Structure 1
């Protein structure tokens, strides 16, 4: 990903990895609900492999490019919520909850405190 800024590389890779991880952790609740748990676990583990193939380089690029460990973690949490809410609403057909908004506002506060000078 040469030519792309370190923060953008980090965020793009973390978003992609989070999509895989969200499906690995929760997708089986809908798509494999009739399967035994060990089948769901094996399929989830296979999906999670792709998550790790994106998440590990994302964190390495970000950390060597100036992100602190805490900044990487908070960035990951913001991305997790940004990926999870549409997943829950679109794929899992869960209703929107105002608590998603409150959680997002709390994360904005976390971002402020972790990234301020």
Structure 2
């Protein structure tokens, strides 16, 4: 009996989770940190506004994980999400909050990137 060969995942299944997670992280970054430019806003307004923004984030993140699971493992999906989250936040902090990106940030992100490499590398023998 011939061995069956698993079908390669579609381009959609490979790329859609990444695109959706990228978009969801833009929403979530604004939900969590956008209010920092408005220190005078009352807390309840900030929380409700953030919650409303996060609602749309969920409409992107949940489908991303449903589409991606099977093509990617749960650990790989979470790693993709975290790398995207840090990348989006680094840009957000520089462009929206006006913060500087330092060598310490670069070194820290490099170590996170190294961790992501090992998640995707497969078993260490």
What TM-score does the superposition give when structure 2 sets the normalisation length?
A: 0.85
Distance 2:57 2:115 in 1: 24
* Structure 1 match to 2:76: 71
**How many equivalent residue pairs?**
113
- Once the 2 structures are TM-superposed, how far is the Cα of residue 95 of structure 1 from its aligned partner? 1.2
Measure the CA separation in 2 of the matches of 1:39 and 1:4: 41
Offset of 1:4 from its aligned partner?
4.3
Which position in structure 2 is the counterpart of 1:53? 59
Say yes or no: does 1:22 pair with 2:29. Answer: yes
Match in the other structure for 2:116: 111
Distance 1:28 1:39 in 2: 10
3-state SS, counterpart of residue 98 of structure 2: coil
Which ranges in structure 2 are unaligned for 5 or more consecutive residues? Answer: 1-9
TM-score for the superposition, normalised by structure 1? 0.90
How far apart in 2 are the matches of 1:4 and 1:35?
Answer: 44
Indicate the SS of the match to 2:69: helix
- Of Structure 1 and Structure 2, the greater helix share is in 1
1:110 positional shift: 1.4
Higher Rg? 2
Question: 4+ residue runs of structure 1 moved beyond 2 angstroms?
Answer: none
Measured in 2, the distance between the counterparts of 1:49 and 1:80 equals 17
Q: Deviations over 1:7-39 (max 9, x none)?
A: 210100000000000000000110x32111010
**Which of 9, 15, 27 pairs up with 1:8?**
15
